[in-house]
Amino acid sequence: MNVIDFSGQWEIPFSVSDTNSGIFYCPNDVEKTVKFMKNDYAILRAFLTNPGDETGDPEVIILDVEERKFSVMLILPSKNTEGINSLERDLTIEKLLFWREKCSVELLSISIPKFRIAYGVDLIPRAKAMGLQEMFQPSEINFSDMFEDDRRPKQVDLFRQEVVLGKIIGVGGTDSTSF
């Protein structure tokens, strides 16, 4: 087993006392009640479009994690008729870099949903495609130098990569994000 862990806190922490329930609007007119983290008077990096702006540019807010080691870029789609669909369809690394470059420091009050994004992938098919066949078949591999108990055949049964962003935990009266 090999684990890499980074736990960080927001550069400008969200107060637990300012966490409240609210409506989150999902695609297809679905509404869900979720917890929102609020931060009044946060100094953030933001690229804000003008109301009614027809350029299709979204509003972008960058939340920094501890000493700006990492950042989370929140992208709110424009209010044109395509909204999130056009944002997803037309998103490029060049646009992300442009928006990040155009961000200025703003004094804002923000409220965002608490979030957790997790992704896992089985790496066995990928490893096999790269030629690592033997480690998954006990008749083909010899792990005897790694184990004292040589009575049972050894093989790799699980080979996964897991990534979690946004595990919200309470620390010292603030919410933090664990990466």
Domain ranges of the chain: 10-23+32-114
Beta bridge partners of 118: 164
Higher pLDDT, 15 or 174: 15
* Closest CA relative to residue 62, chosen from 96, 89, 85: 96
Of all residues in the chain, the percent with pLDDT exceeding 70 is 75
4 falls in which pLDDT band (50, 70, 90)?
Answer: low
Mean pLDDT on 58-85: 77
Right CATH for 10-23+32-114 from 3.40.50.300, 3.20.20.70, 2.30.39.10, 3.30.420.40: 2.30.39.10
Higher pLDDT, 144 or 35: 35
What's the confidence (pLDDT) of residue 16? 81
2 falls in which pLDDT band (50, 70, 90)?
Answer: low
2-6, 66-70, 99-103, range with greatest mean pLDDT: 99-103
- pLDDT higher than threshold 70 for residue 97: yes
- pLDDT higher than threshold 70 for residue 6: no
Higher pLDDT, 122 or 52: 122
What's the confidence (pLDDT) of residue 46? 79
In the chain, count H helices and then E strands: 3, 11
Residue labelled with tokens 């792990």? 143
* Closest CA relative to residue 14, chosen from 63, 68, 47: 63
- pLDDT higher than threshold 60 for residue 53: no
Q: Flag whether the pTM goes above 0.85.
A: no
What's the confidence (pLDDT) of residue 125? 92
- pLDDT higher than threshold 50 for residue 174: no
pLDDT digit string (tens) for 124-173?
Answer: 999 999 998 888 887 777 777 777 766 666 778 888 888 777 654 443 34
**Residue 147 CB neighbours (<10 A):** 10
What's the confidence (pLDDT) of residue 169? 44
